[in-house]
Amino acid sequence: MLKPLLVFGTRPEAIKMAPIVAACKDRPQDIAAKICLTGQHREMLQQVTDYFGIQSDINLDLMKPNQSLAELTAACIERMDTVLVREQPDCVVVQGDTTTVFATSIAAFYRRLPVVHVEAGLRTGNIWAPWPEELNRRITSLVTAIHCAPTPQAADQLRKEGYAESTIHVTGNTVIDALLWTVKRERARGSEWRKKYDFLGDQRMILITGHRRENFGDGFRNICQSIRTLAERLPDVAFLYPVHLNPNVQGPVHELLGTLPHVYLVDPAPYPEFVWLMDRSTMILSDSGGVQEEAPSLKKPLLVMRDTTERPEAVAAGAVELVGTSVEKITERTMAIMTDSAEYQKHQVDKNPYGDGSAAPRIVELMLQQGWQK
């Protein structure tokens, strides 16, 4: 039996690790996985684990009010080391580029345990954007035994950085596994969501998300100003914005958008509800990483309000555009997509570059092939 320790601590990690948890459960004769939650997020993390029916074996409960990244990192390494000594896993599985991933991979390295990095090889080339995620994933790559690259381009990046060919595998992205399962389930529950969002009626709807640290300050004010301008120019379109709880986001959003008649500021949506909103939307404005991967599967044009992206495949495919936080560019490109059917259709792609929904079983098979079982 292979004994992997699956570690995650934030909502995005939980979404992308849920298919791996399920794939491990599908092979009970081969794998006895344990699940460790760091608690980097708390309420948002529990929403996802409840939805996917994930029961944790260990919870580090790291979340504290106003803790610094240094405090979070130190606590995670120290507590994870205790877990690794006690549990003696055959390998440690992490996903993405959070502080949980960085700290867990370092703790595993100190104990000479192999690390499986899901969603490996993403890069912007700038350690300050996204911050601190770019540095987190680069350091994680240094100690990784199996790089599960979501795309050929991500795999090529790892080769350029000198990682051994035998450690690099293109698996697809597990977020597509989770998305396809969730879309099917939430479409069946559509009447529930339509009732909750009955104020939208049959209007076209632009879905907005924003939370990146590098956009705090002028970036968010620019984003909000562009939405004000668009709301004036598109009076027949609803703008739905689930607003992140961070005060750096709440402040400018409510100040600049709080009084506009068809801009709806709502609480952050749990994952299944947000998937339904993406599916219901006409197009999406976002600075999120995961939405860049999901939108192509739903055929939703997406403008990414960032200056760089570690997910260039969707840009190359034509599904996604980078517009930064320029008021003029966000406004101009949104207007073009919303008023020109040919421009809209250009952003709808037939094949999502991030996968076919079978990434998790591939990753589990790779783990079994390594011979790590004790």
Nearest of 81, 86, 62, 88 to residue 8 by alpha carbon: 62
- Yes or no: say if 370 and 148 are a contact pair by the CB < 8 Å rule: no
Print the domain residue range for 113: 4-173+356-368
Q: Determine, yes or no, domain membership for 181.
A: no
Catalytic-labelled residue, pool 97, 293, 313, 321 = 97
Instruction: Identify whether residues 235 and 320 lie together within a single domain.
Output: yes
Residue 373 forms part of a structural domain: no
**Residue 9 and residue 155 share a domain:** yes
Strand partners, 58: 36
- Out of 13, 90, 119, 294, the active site residue is 119
Q: Which of 13, 133, 310, 321 is catalytic?
A: 133
**pLDDT for residue 107:** 98
Catalytic hit among 87, 211, 262, 343: 211
d(CA 261, CA 330): 20
Handedness of CA 112, 115, 120, 126 (dihedral sign): negative
Do 286 and 314 lie in a common domain? yes
| Predicted local distance difference test score (pLDDT) of residue 310 | 81
Question: Within this chain, do residues 291 and 197 fall inside the same structural domain, yes or no?
Answer: yes
Question: Are residues 162 and 211 both part of a single domain?
Answer: no
Check residue 131 and give its pLDDT: 86
Specify whether 169 is located in the same domain as 241: no
Q: 211 catalytic, yes or no?
A: yes
103-129 in b/e form (b: 16+ CB < 10 A) is bbbbbbbeeebbbbbbbbbbbbeeeeb
Among 27, 138, 244, 262, which one carries the catalytic annotation? 244
Same domain for 204 and 154 = no
Q: Which two tokens stand for residue 4?
A: 């992997």
27 and 112 fall within a common domain: yes
pLDDT number for residue 334 = 98
pLDDT in tens, the chain (374 residues): 999 999 999 988 999 999 999 999 999 999 999 999 998 877 778 889 999 999 999 999 888 888 899 999 999 999 999 999 999 999 999 999 999 999 999 999 999 999 999 999 999 899 988 889 999 999 999 999 999 999 999 999 999 999 999 999 999 999 999 999 999 999 998 899 999 999 999 999 999 998 766 667 788 889 989 999 999 999 999 999 998 777 777 788 888 888 899 999 999 898 999 999 999 999 999 988 789 999 999 999 999 998 888 888 899 999 999 999 999 999 999 999 999 999 999 999 988 999 999 999 999 999 999 999 88
Flag whether 374 is in a domain: no
**Residue 184, in any domain of the structure:** no
* 179: in domain: no
**What's 101's domain CATH number?**
3.40.50.2000
Predicted local distance difference test score (pLDDT) of residue 215 = 67
Distance of CA 250 to the CA centre of its chain: 21
332 among known catalytic residues: no
Which candidate in 42, 138, 213, 262 is catalytic?
213
Q: What is the pLDDT of residue 130?
A: 84
To the query of whether residue 347 is one of the catalytic residues in this protein, the response is: no
Q: 180 in a domain, yes or no?
A: no
Q: Is position 150 within any domain?
A: yes
Give yes or no: residues 128 and 266 share one domain. no
Q: Are residues 207 and 152 in the same domain?
A: no
Q: Are residues 19 and 162 in the same domain?
A: yes
Which phi and psi (to 5°) does residue 171 adopt? -115, -15
Tell me: do 208 and 264 sit in the same domain: yes
Whether 294 is catalytic: no
* pLDDT at 288 (0 to 100): 84
Number of domains composing the chain = 2
- The pTM assigned to this predicted structure is 0.87
Residue 178 in domain: no
